[in-house]
Structures are given as structure tokens and as C-alpha cells.
Amino acid sequence: MSRYDLVLHVGMPRSGAVLRRALVRLRPQLRTHAVALVGGAQIDGLQHAAGWQCGRGARGRDASMFERELAAAVTEEQRHAAGIRGRLPVRTVVSSNRLLGMGPVGRRDAEQFRPYATMATAQVVKALSARRVQVVLYTHRQDRLMELSYLKRLRSGQQVAFEDEFPNRFEPVLDYLDLIDRLRAVPNVSDVVVRPLELVDAGQHAFVNDFLGLFGLENALDLNAMGIDPLPYPSVYSARAAQLALALVPLTDTPAERRRVGAYVWKHYQASERYPTDLLGRDVRQRILDCYADRNRELFRTHLPDLPADSYSDDPSTFALGNVLSQPEPTSAGSAPVWTAATRAATDAVAKLERRARPVADRARRTISRAQRSR
């Protein structure tokens, strides 16, 4: 880590969210290790965030203001980290999915995968006057990436067929190797490290520990401080929600009706243990994987030599990527909780209780209102 003064954590949808939620909880510990963390929410909250050239809607005239505000936010965080460890050189981690460009993957990626990635990253590097930059890129297997992006788009209320959203789905346009080359070409970016998002299957602790290990903090933090991730599932529609939305939304006539349908579908059918996101049929999925097989094999050989080259070739994956991570050493009393099982069990239990309690609450409300009326 000492070789780099700035680490940019970028990822495909979901990888960023899982890590950012965890890192924010670990911020105090990161400061004690002289690591200044600036997350996506902080950047999005800047007054001139629209000046970040990460999408079609970016405002060019706000670019310099955005850069100044970002530099100020990072400096502020660096001061905190430096204050704790005296005059030690501070390492900075900036984590935002917008470093690859705004919005979910879709039609606009057909010509070039994440076309704004270079511009958005270069602007941050320039704003922070970083000289040695490491980019940590989290990949997501293309079929899953398309699936989740599509489910996200439906969640936002748009009605579009999967085939229309990804007309080039059977061509290797979502090419990580090309994206890595473009990120590497950004001035002052010295290295691009690649990690597959699928490692998250090993559990929250193992996944976060793996990320921390990239800059020498493996097993150095008390990961129990993260708590249980409140959102262990991607924040998208489930496959069933998508089917319902595609069936119901065309029957609506007004935006208000669409909102009501959207709220119903989201409330009852968001992605969860009960409602998975497996939208694609087996044949389509395998066809997509086949068309990316060569490029993905090359990706693993070149950038992930410690993992099997065929990790992204089949579904279900020939190699369960989650199994390659070892669980971190427990750093506080008790053993490190297994995130996946515990969180999902807790979330499902809460959802079940809510479902059971709803009719009781409704009945109580009706009784109260009846009593009030009769009084």
C-alpha cells in the first residue's frame, strides 16, 4: 500500500455497496491505521457533485468546483487519520461506483463497456493530485451483471424487454480486459487490481478482509465492528418482481398508478432469500457465458492467477469462488460470525414476523377506528 497514495475502489453494481457499508463502519479503525476513507455517499453529497464527469448529465461548468470540493473532503478525512497517528503519511481510499460512470449497465454499454470510466477516474485523480494510484476493480460475471442491471432498471419504473436492453448480449461487449486497459491508461494510475465480486459468497468478513488485504490490513481490524449487513441482498427486483412488473405496469395509465404498482411489487417481491434474482433461462445464461468464455479466461489468467481460469465459464460455477477465501482470524471475543447464514436468517425471520404481524396490526387499527367512530 505504501507504494500508492490513492486507492480507488470501483466495482460493478453491488460489490461497491457491500464494501462501502462495511468500510464506513470500520472508518474509526481505518483512521488508526492511517487510512482515510471517502465513500460514494460523501462524494454524492458535495454541493457541485453534478460536476463529476461520470455521465451524460454531468455539468461541465461545475467540474472545477466539484474537484475543489472533493479535494477538500479528502483533505478533511486525511486530517482525521493523520491526527490519530501523528505525522504518519496518510493513505487514501476513495470508493464510489461512479468512478466507472453513472447508472446501471445497459444499452449505452453496447459500444464500449462503461464509456465514462476513464473520464470519471481521471477527474478524481487530477482533483486529488495523486501521483501513484491503484485502482481496485471488482468484476461481476457478465450474465449476472446484465441480470442485476436489468432488474435495477425495472425497479426504477422503466418498461423494457431484456432483449432490448441488451441487444448485444451474445457478443463480448462487457469486456473487463478492455476496461482494465482503459483504466490503466489514466494518467498516474500505476496498477489495476482485479477481484471478483463472487468472493462475497464467502461471507461479509472474508470478503472485506480480502479487500483490506490488498493494502496490507488483512486480519488487522476488528471486523465484528461492521455488525450484520442490513442489506445482504442486492437492492433490486427479484425475478418474480420483474415478471409481475412487466405484467402489471402496461395496464397502468398514469404515473401515480405506476408508482403504486411499483411500491407493491417492491414491498412484496424485492430480491431476498425467498425471491432470487435468477431471471435468465439456463440456455440464455450459458450462451452468454460461452460468448465471454475466452475473454474471461484471459482475464483470470492475466489478473487473477491465484483463481481457476474457468471460474466464470459455467453456471453453476465450476469453482465456487466463495470457497477460495479463508475466514479471517477472530479479533474480538467470540468467533467471527458467518455473515451469509446469520444475516439471511435474521432478515428472513424479520420479514416473516412482519408478514405475520401485518394482519394483526390491520385488525387492531380497524377496531380502534371503529371504536372511535362509535364514540
Chain residues that interact with another protein, rule: CB under 8 A: 240, 243-244, 247-248, 251, 257, 260, 264, 268, 355, 370, 374
Residue number with CB closer to another protein (177 or 351): 351
Helix (H, G, I), strand (E, B) or coil at 195: strand
Helix (H, G, I), strand (E, B) or coil at 94: strand
Residue number with CB closer to another protein (101 or 262): 262
Minimum distance between the CB of residue 270 and another protein, rounded to whole angstroms?
Answer: 13
Residue number with CB closer to another protein (44 or 354): 354
Burial (0-12, 13-18, 19+ Cβ within 10 Å), 208: buried
**Of 16, 61, 183, nearest in space to 116 by CA:** 183
Tell me phi and psi for residue 276, to 5 degrees: -75, 175
Residue number with CB closer to another protein (43 or 239): 239
Residue number with CB closer to another protein (9 or 258): 258
Minimum distance between the CB of residue 275 and another protein, rounded to whole angstroms?
Answer: 10
Check if the beta carbon of residue 190 is closer than 8 Å to that of residue 132. Answer: yes
Minimum distance between the CB of residue 237 and another protein, rounded to whole angstroms?
Answer: 12
Quote the CA–CA distance of 26 and 329 in Å, as a whole number.
Answer: 16
Q: Give the length of the chain.
A: 375
Structure letter (DSSP) for residue 273: S
Minimum distance between the CB of residue 260 and another protein, rounded to whole angstroms?
Answer: 5
Minimum distance between the CB of residue 194 and another protein, rounded to whole angstroms?
Answer: 38
